[in-house]
């Protein structure tokens, strides 16, 4: 999918349109959004990977084990992802289709480039209504994990020669700031930016950096927290410069990821549900489905937390 050349060129970018309305759920006043756009990596991809020339695939079992119909849909998980779950929590729809799906309708419009989206949307509803939809849309932004994993923590490319960790953090945040400005110029005004989870606790990170002893890699978590602190400081500065924009900081790192619900089993963090051995019997007890990607249970926690943030900031 096409993405802005000045943004991360290894970022898989997704955005989707859903018609929305305002309603109350469990006494909470859910804000009204005309559309939802999500930008991120494979954690948010609801199936576009199936139409790309990609080495990494999720179109086979056991992916999709807990998805409706037990279908592997190129979602890198056992079931639904955050976009699906959040759309459901907002009362919009149960599943978010991939933009590259050949038979996608205008109503289910989803694309990997916001400028292309605006062009197609304008053809469907007209220029004025297209601007209104974008202006009243909710934008989800989650990025940076792949950047650090690929260039520093796992693959360790020549970025480690070009940058110190601190400088690379600043480099990525500069690109993020540019991207936020581009979204603003296109009309987006409500954005939730999620920080990074504990990258030192990803199964792939622990395996590569400590294959014998296991356990979270604290040095990587320290670097992750440093990046998150910088992101948290950056967002108010950006908001102050862009009149009318509302940026909400989502603390993914600080979520209580060990507890699914009050009466549900403890969530096991730091291990994956499908290592070399057969898959686990109950994926809902695990945070990771494979060495990088979360289970539906973990995605559900994040989606609920985003909903809470929307209600608090409404």
DSSP 259: B
Reduced to 3 states (helix: H, G, I; strand: E, B; else coil), residue 294 is: strand
293 is catalytic: yes
The pLDDT of residue 271: 65
Domain that holds residue 113: 15-200+221-256+303-313
- Does 185 reside within a domain? yes
Choose, from 106, 116, 290, 291, the residue flagged as catalytic. Answer: 290
Tell me: pLDDT of 17 over 70.
Answer: no
Tell me: pLDDT of 243 over 80.
Answer: yes
Average pLDDT over residues 271-295: 78
Choose, from 41, 261, 293, 313, the residue flagged as catalytic. Answer: 293
Average pLDDT over residues 32-58: 81
Q: How confident is the model at residue 148 (pLDDT cuts 50, 70, 90)?
A: confident
Q: How confident is the model at residue 260 (pLDDT cuts 50, 70, 90)?
A: very low
The pLDDT of residue 113: 57
Nearest to 226 by CA among 177, 180, 165: 165
The pLDDT of residue 268: 60
CB 110 within 8 A of CB 17: yes
Tell me: pLDDT of 24 over 70.
Answer: no
Q: How confident is the model at residue 16 (pLDDT cuts 50, 70, 90)?
A: very low
Cis peptide before 62 (omega within 30 of 0): yes
Residue 282 contacts by C-beta under 8 Å, 6 or more apart in sequence?
A: 265
- Does 123 reside within a domain? yes
- Does 239 reside within a domain? yes
- Does 5 reside within a domain? no
Per-residue H/E/C for 130-194: HHHHHHCCEEEEECCHHHHHHHHHCCCCCHHHHCCHHHHHHHHHHHHHHHHHHHHHCCCCEEEEE
What distance in Å separates the CA atoms of residue 113 and residue 190, rounded to the nearest whole number? 18
Tell me: pLDDT of 239 over 60.
Answer: yes
Q: What is the CATH number of the domain that holds 132?
A: 3.40.50
Tell me: pLDDT of 195 over 80.
Answer: yes
290 is catalytic: yes
- pTM, 2 dp: 0.82
DSSP 153: I
- Does 194 reside within a domain? yes
Tell me: pLDDT of 69 over 70.
Answer: yes
Average pLDDT over residues 99-119: 63
41 is catalytic: no
Nearest to 77 by CA among 284, 277, 260, 251: 284
The pLDDT of residue 99: 66
Domain count within the chain: 1
Residue 73 sits at φ, ψ, to 5 deg, of -110, 15
Q: What's the mean per-residue pLDDT of the chain?
A: 79
Least confident range of 137-146, 153-162, 214-223: 153-162
Q: How confident is the model at residue 169 (pLDDT cuts 50, 70, 90)?
A: very high
Choose, from 42, 77, 272, 284, the residue flagged as catalytic. Answer: 42
What distance in Å separates the CA atoms of residue 198 and residue 130, rounded to the nearest whole number? 38
């Amino acid at each position: 999918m096409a993405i802005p050349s000045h943004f991360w060129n290894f970022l898989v970018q997704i955005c989707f349109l859903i018609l929305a309305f305002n309603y109350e759920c469990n006494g909470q006043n859910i804000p009204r959004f005309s559309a939802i756009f999500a930008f991120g990596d494979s954690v948010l991809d609801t199936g576009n990977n199936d139409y790309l020339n990609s080495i990494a695939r999720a179109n086979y079992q056991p992916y999709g084990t807990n998805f409706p119909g037990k279908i592997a849909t190129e979602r890198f998980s056992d079931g639904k992802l955050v976009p699906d779950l959040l759309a459901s929590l907002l009362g919009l729809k149960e599943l978010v289709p991939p933009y590259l799906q050949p038979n996608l309708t205008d109503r289910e419009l989803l694309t990997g480039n916001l400028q292309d989206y605006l062009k197609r949307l304008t053809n469907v509803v007209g220029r004025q209504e297209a601007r209104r939809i974008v202006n009243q849309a909710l934008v989800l932004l989650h990025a940076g994990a792949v950047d650090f994993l690929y260039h520093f923590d796992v693959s360790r490319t020549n970025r480690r020669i070009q940058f110190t960790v601190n400088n690379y953090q600043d480099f990525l945040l500069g690109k993020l700031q540019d991207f936020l400005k581009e979204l603003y110029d296109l009309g987006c005004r409500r954005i939730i930016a999620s920080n990074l989870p504990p990258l030192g606790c990803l199964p792939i990170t622990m395996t590569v950096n400590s294959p014998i002893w296991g356990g979270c890699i604290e040095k990587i978590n320290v670097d992750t927290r440093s990046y998150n602190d910088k992101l948290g400081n950056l967002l108010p500065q950006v908001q102050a410069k862009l009149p009318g924009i509302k940026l909400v900081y989502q603390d993914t790192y600080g979520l209580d990821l060990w507890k699914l619900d009050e009466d549900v089993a403890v969530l096991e963090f730091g291990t994956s549900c499908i290592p070399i051995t057969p898959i686990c019997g109950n994926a809902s007890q695990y945070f990771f489905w494979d060495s990088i990607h979360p289970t539906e249970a973990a995605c559900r926690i994040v989606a609920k937390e985003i909903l809470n943030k929307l209600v608090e900031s409404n």
